[in-house]
Structure 1
Amino acid sequence: MTRRALPRALGSSYRSDAMGNVGETSITCAVCGRESRQRQVRGTGPAGPPDLDLRPGETMRSTMAYWLQQCPTCGYAAPRLDEAGEPIPAVVAGGPYRALLAEVSYPPLARRFLCRAMILEETGELHAAAEATLQAAWVADDTRKADLAREWRLTAVALFRQGPAPDLEQQVRIVDILRRAGEFGGAAAQASALERGRLPEPVDRVVAFERRLIAAGDVRAYSVASALPPPAARPHVSHRGPTPGIPLTRGSAGGGGLFAALRRLFRRR
């Protein structure tokens, strides 16, 4: 069977574009039992360096709308709608979840990530809930909802800290998340706590770079490449702006996390 014929044999339709292969298939919701058509990404092209908070570079950045499926009947949000643990139907049926679904002031895609975050928080997966909340903040960035982006970043930090003790990679990311939220005092305190330990290279360069951004009052997004000169630090192409200062998602980062991305870039220097 040819590769082109395979999707038809599986009962799915596909389209190929700059983002990769986006598949569409019928799937039955594990919460309400209703069937719907859902899209998902079946591979992307090469991705550039992620941002310091692990928002992936292109081409993966453009696929955020397909990272989660959401049932149009009950509102359940998950990577796959046909999978749901025992506590999840009660969460989806609960008042807070229904209220979130009805919150029209939130961008629809952000609301989907927040729905997933609520499910994860209620089932005790606090770090995963933090990741989903951070992803909602990325959507708020893209839709110019600065107040919501700040609120959701601070919520993500709280969830990281409420769960198991954050590992070193998460602690470094928290510095960036707090800085992006404009919480410069908290970001500086987190950086100081990291600097009291022995930071491996090139992680020490990232923390030093964050220190310079904090001192400049800079809340803009930077890729991990910006923290590792040469070349000189440059702005993220999608986040240029007039803010004075230095010139300009694990899983979703497309390469094993912040440290993996840093190691790849550091080897090229």
Structure 2
Amino acid sequence: MQERNCQQQDATIGTRDTGITIKGTNQPLPGSVIACGVCQHPMKTARTIDSDSPADLSVGINLENDVGAPTGYGYLLSIIYCQKCGFATTALNHACPDDIRALVHSIPYQLQWSDESLPKLARVFLCKAILDLSRQQLCDAAYSALAAAWVCDELADKNAAIWCRKVTAEYFRRYFSNNPRLDSEQQRMLFHYVDVCHRAGLLQRARQLCRIIAQQQLDAGQQQHLTLLQMQLGQSDVPPQQQLTDLISDLT
């Protein structure tokens, strides 16, 4: 996937019931019990979270089609996580060096993992974001945290969703601070960033981002999207009634 910054490492993690080692794969064998690379506790997949999620919640969230995440971010629902320490990864071939072990056992990470004010699936995604950040994979960190917000949306937990979006906004801010030149994919990410800020109540930052987007070369669909965002934020030199008229005209 072109827009992802992460470079997955090839390593090995054992399975308890078979005693074998799976190498170079990101799917567990049927019936296998994956041992956490940090604490050796059994791991589960995000798709099987049950206690605080409605039936088939993780199956029902299509990260790409439902919410417009960049192609390939559906992989987030393949995360495996440790029920004890909260270590989260998207692949069995992910190494657990000493610095990752230390991070997982750190107070900030454990506070995030044990925060019962958030749905468990959201906590899995937020812990994954912390690990992404430690590897300087800022784009992945942003979308991991945004996935946590989408989970809260599905559960109608408004306060939790706002908090997750504020975390997401910080990851996006760091990403664009390190990537000032915009290509077409980063333009699309900017629209997500604006939406995140808008829904998190960070209105001034959302308006600033709209001004940046307005200076870019936009196609008709992007221009229409920008106009809608400006209407929602009350930021445009065009009178609101004219904005609405123009938008309806574009849609028809």
Find 1:165's aligned residue among 179, 194, 210. Answer: 179
Find 2:40's aligned residue among 20, 27, 33. Answer: 33
**Superposed CA RMSD:** 3.5
TM-score under structure 2 length normalisation: 0.63
Structure 2: which 5+ runs fail to align? 1-17, 19-29, 49-58, 181-185, 236-246
**Residue 125 of structure 1: aligned partner:** 137
- Paired AA for residue 33 in structure 2: S
Post-superposition Cα deviations, 1:171-220, rounded to whole Å, max 9, x if no partner, equal 1211111222233332222111111222133211211122223239xxxx
Shift of 1:49: 4.1
Question: In the superposition, relative to structure 1, how do residues 51 and 26 fare at CA in structure 2: closer, same or farther (>3 Å)?
Answer: same
Tell whether 2:212 aligns with 1:205.
Answer: no
Equivalent residue pairs, number: 192
Shift of 1:230: 7.3
- Once residues 88 and 229 of structure 2 are traced to their aligned partners in structure 1, the CA distance between those partners, rounded to angstroms, is 34
Post-superposition Cα deviations, 1:122-178, rounded to whole Å, max 9, x if no partner, equal 222222111111111112222222222112212212211213226212112111112
**Residue 109 of structure 1: aligned partner:** 121
Question: In the superposition, relative to structure 1, how do residues 196 and 39 fare at CA in structure 2: closer, same or farther (>3 Å)?
Answer: closer
**Structure 1 range deviating more: 110-119 or 80-89:** 80-89
Question: In the superposition, relative to structure 1, how do residues 228 and 114 fare at CA in structure 2: closer, same or farther (>3 Å)?
Answer: farther
Question: In the superposition, relative to structure 1, how do residues 201 and 105 fare at CA in structure 2: closer, same or farther (>3 Å)?
Answer: same
Shift of 1:110: 0.9
Structure 1: which 5+ runs fail to align? 1-10, 12-22, 217-226, 233-269
Tell whether 2:74 aligns with 1:78.
Answer: no
Shift of 1:37: 5.3
Contact 1:205–1:228 (8 Å) recurs in 2? no
Higher helix share: 2
- Once residues 234 and 100 of structure 2 are traced to their aligned partners in structure 1, the CA distance between those partners, rounded to angstroms, is 44
Contact 2:44–2:82 (8 Å) recurs in 1? no
TM-score under structure 1 length normalisation: 0.59
Counting aligned pairs with the same residue, the percent is 24
Contact 1:110–1:136 (8 Å) recurs in 2? yes
Post-superposition Cα deviations, 1:14-56, rounded to whole Å, max 9, x if no partner, equal xxxxxxxxx7643232223344454769xx89x784335x399
What SS does the corresponding residue of 2:179 show, helix, strand or coil? coil
Question: In the superposition, relative to structure 1, how do residues 193 and 135 fare at CA in structure 2: closer, same or farther (>3 Å)?
Answer: same
Question: In the superposition, relative to structure 1, how do residues 35 and 154 fare at CA in structure 2: closer, same or farther (>3 Å)?
Answer: closer
Find 1:50's aligned residue among 60, 66, 74. Answer: 66
**Residue 5 of structure 1: aligned partner:** none
Q: Report 1:171-182 matches (<5 A).
A: 171-182=190-201
**Residue 157 of structure 2: aligned partner:** 145
Shift of 1:81: 4.7
- Paired AA for residue 114 in structure 1: L
- Paired AA for residue 30 in structure 1: G
